Amino acid sequence: MSEREHIGFYCGLCPDFMPALREARRRWPDARLTAIVPPSYAPDEAIYAVVDDLMVTGRDAYSPLHPLAVRQLAADLRARGFSHFITLFRTTQQRILALVSGASRAELWDMDSRIRPMEVTWSGLIRGAMRRSVGGRLRYLGLFLYACIIRVPRSR
C-alpha cells in the first residue's frame, strides 16, 4: 500500500484561498493537506476543518532580493516532505518554489479554474521557460501586427 500522499498547497498572496483548499480536500479526502500561507493572510483555527496542517511563511512575498529568506523557505518546504505541491499563481517564482519543494508532482491551479501540471525538474523548468519566452513573444508580436493591420471596418 502506498504511503499517504502529502500535499503542500501554496496559497501565495490570494486573499480568498479557502475555496481552493476545500476543493483540494474534496479531491484528495485521505491525503495529508498542508496550507502554506503568508503571515498577513494567516487564518484562524477554522482552517483545520479543511486542512491537516498550516505552514505560515516567514514573509508575505519573496524575491531574488532576499536570497536568505528564499533559501529558508525552500529548506522549510523540503523539510515537510511533500509528495505533491500545488500553487495558485503562474509566476516563475512559484514554479521554482514547486521545484525546490522536492515534491515529485506539482500543479498550477489558476484563478480561472484551470489545472495544469508544472515542471518538477530543473531541465523541465528551463525548457518550459524558454518555450514560453520565445513562443510567447512571437505570439505577442503576431497578434499585435494582426490587430494593427487587419482592421474592423467602420460599421454602418
Partner 1 sequence: MRLAFVDLEFSWPPPGGAQIHLLHDMTELRRLGHEVRLIAPLAEGSWRFGRIEEEALPVPVTPILLASRPFPRDELVRKVRAAVDAFAPDVVMLAFGFYLKAHLAAALSDYPLISRYYTYEMICVRDFLLYRDEHACPNSFLDTPNRCRRCFVRFWGPGFPQEGTSGFADEFLANGGLHPAFHRLWVEHLRNLDALVVTNEMTRQRLEKYNDNIHVVPGGVSIERFPYRPPPEREPGDKKIIFMSGRADDQMKGFHTLRRAGEVLSEKRDDFEIWVTLAKPPNARPFIRYLGWREQDELRRLYGEADICVVPSVWEEPFGLVAVEAMASGRPVCASRVGGLQSIVVDGETGFLFTGDNRFELAHCLGLMLDHAALRRDMGMAGRRRAETVYDWPRVVERHYPALLESVLP
Residues in contact with partner 1 by CB under 8 A are: 13, 15-16, 18-20, 22-24, 38, 40-42, 46, 60, 90-92, 109-115, 132-133, 135-137, 139-140, 143-144, 146-148, 150-153, 155
Kindly state the smallest distance separating residue 78's Cβ from partner 1, in Å. 25
Closer residue to partner 1 (CB): 14 or 74:
14
- For the chain, the maximum distance between any two Cα atoms, rounded to a whole number of angstroms, is 69
Q: Which helix (H) or strand (E) holds 36?
A: strand 32-37
Kindly state the smallest distance separating residue 124's Cβ from partner 1, in Å. 15
Q: Which three cell numbers stand for residue 28?
A: 484528495
Kindly state the smallest distance separating residue 4's Cβ from partner 1, in Å. 22
* 84-87 vs 105-109, strand pairing mode: parallel
Are the beta carbons of 101 and 36 closer than 8 angstroms? no
